[in-house]
Chain A
Amino acid sequence: MVFSPVASGPNSLLEIRNLVVSFETANGLFKAVDGIDLNVESGEVLAIVGESGSGKSVSMLAVMGLLPDNAHISADILRFNGCDMLTMKAREKRALVGRDISMIFQEPITSLNPCFTVGYQVAEVLQVHLGLKGAALRRRVIELLEAVGIANSEARLGAYPHQMSGGQCQRIMIAQAIACNPKLLIADEPTTALDVTIQKQILDLLKDLQYRSNMGLIMITHDMGVVAETADRVIVQYMGRKMEEADIVSLFEKPQSTYTKALLAALPENVKGKRLPTIGDYFQETANVAAVSAE
């Protein structure tokens, strides 16, 4: 494997070693994530980039405990803020997830509950994790909606998700996610379903929130443009394995892995000539991941 290992201090916010996630299927055990190591520090933005099937979302869902029952998760180390998540009791984990680690998802309108108002949904997080009630709760919800840039926040408390645009719903999800001032925010393709000007607003909002609170931010995406605009460090994933890890400038300037080179070359802005290069031009797409990473 060719990547520059990042020094993992004892103070890493999130530390993962050899994460393996398999699913029980009718055809046997399917390994979606096959031995991933990663670290995130406070105040840094890590992008995990890969295509469909690379296992990038599954690894983070495993950390959050959001995978279905047929998922088998194992790791040598899975530590958040010094606490061992592998041996944590369910009750402790429930208190942690949604408060200190939170996540936002890809399709904002469908990720919110259509039966409840947005005010109710943001309030729910505060009630469950912080025990807020009454006027204090309402005040905090309005504050959060303002912090994520919803105009007329007080009037919007009673709105339902279907009455809001995709961009606004994503802001509501972000409000839920930052409600308890998390130490780590995981954003799973947060702007894929959004228009480009709204994408820019949401990415700017995430960067701004991250900068102010110094939280760690993991940005999962397949879009190298989003990576270029947001990340400090990048992990490239393919078929459940890590292909490359580097700081953003090194990754774009001197990609080491063949797969990264193929991803960068497929960007339409890097096209020279008439044909867009595809991954297949770079190597035989194969389940033999070792062959891919060899130079």
Chain B
Amino acid sequence: MQQAGNLAVKPAAAGAAGDLLTVRDIRREYRAKGGLFRQDKITHALKGVSFSVKRGKTLAIVGESGCGKSTLARILTLIDAQTAGELQIEGEIINIAAQAIAPALRRKVQMVFQNPYASLNPRQKIGSILAEPLLLNTNMSAAARQKVVAEMLKKVGLPVEACNRYPHMFSGGQRQRIAIARALMLQPKLLVLDEPVSALDLSVQAQVLNLLADLQDEFHLTYVFISHDLSVVRYIADDILVMCFGEVAEYGPCEEVFRNPRHSYTKKLFEAQPHADIASIRRRIEARHKAAEQKAAAGAVQ
């Protein structure tokens, strides 16, 4: 298997105009103290990841458990500091360990989490959940906050009465809409979405993906969309970054990578996707009938 990381990685253009987000050689290590007699154990969660995203575009990060995509998401949303490497948002170089982060910067990046059942406080009413970012980050009056909350609920397709209800009164798809509304309250430029539709049924996925596409057009948002579902990625992404064990296996425009995957891991990932086209189904059924016939014939011979 070819070394991950040395193939098909386009060198990130040095702060090219129009790049909202630039990441250069980001590394993240976790150290577990060994104590008196043992060495410290180091886990390399990210081993030098580089990419950039233009304003208004969607980058999909694809990879399986343990590849480092959630660690990367935490670094992008300024929750965690990188051990090494450069993070640039709108040209500003950021390292949360090295400097205090201005509130204005924090507002630029927001996150939508995977589990719609766990990412909303079950003891908070929806109105309060949505107003909280405004309460913490602005000087708006209560009336002004309520107005913005009502507008945002309308944008995500929920009734304004939702303000007085608790999260458990909503379905998974509706909760995810609330999570998206919450992420948009501060008018961010960049939205990091960590598997936002994985926990949802297929048709609800479709509704939420359509909503995300509409919101991206309306607010000119930039998305970093983490997913393990390649068919969703193909539909929503402009560029795709495939990660494997903390490294970039492949990076490029979505259609190009799908048409011509070069890294062996990417190929393995594509092959593992279920094939729902008629030709594949027919082939499988024919093979199954043949195998059954052979089995029956072998049984008859004995």
Contact = CB atoms under 8 A, between A and B. Distances in A.
A112 interface: no
Contacts of A165: 65
A225 B274 contact: yes
B210 A267 contact: no
From A203, A276, A278, residue with most partner B Cβ within 10 Å: A276
Interface string B205-220: 1110110010000000
A253 interface: yes
Interface string A251-278: 0110000000011001111010011111
B281 A268 contact: no
Residue of B232, B269, B284, B292 with highest tally of chain A CB at under 10 A: B284
A275 B210 contact: yes
Contacts of A37: none
Contacts of B65: 165-166, 195
Most chain-A Cβ atoms within 10 A of its Cβ — which of B230, B235, B281, B288?
B281
Give the one of B202, B209, B235, B275 with max A CB within 10 A.
Answer: B202
Interface in B71-87: none
Given A165-B65, A229-B284, A278-B210, A263 B276 contact: no
B235 A271 contact: yes
Contacts of B278: 249, 252-253
A277 B206 contact: yes
B268 A51 contact: no
Nearest to A224: B276
Contacts of B213: 274-275
Contacts of A278: 203, 206-207, 210
B172 interface: yes
A267 B202 contact: yes
A111 interface: no
Contacts of A203: 274
B274 A223 contact: yes
Contact of A196 (B205, B209, B229, B277): B229
Given A252-B278, A268-B232, A225 B273 contact: yes
B275 to A, nearest CB: 6
Given A268-B234, A278-B203, A232 B288 contact: yes
Interface string A239-250: 000000000110
A196 B273 contact: yes
Nearest to A191: B274
Interface string A188-205: 000000011111100100
B102 interface: no
Contacts of B202: 51, 222-224, 263, 266-267
A196 B277 CA distance: 17
Contacts of A73: none
A200 B137 CA distance: 46
Contacts of A52: 171-172, 201
Interface of B: 64-65, 171-172, 201-207, 209-210, 213, 228-232, 234-235, 268-269, 271-278, 280-282, 284-285, 288, 291-292
The 3 closest A-B pairs by CB, nearest first: A225-B274, A276-B206, A228-B276
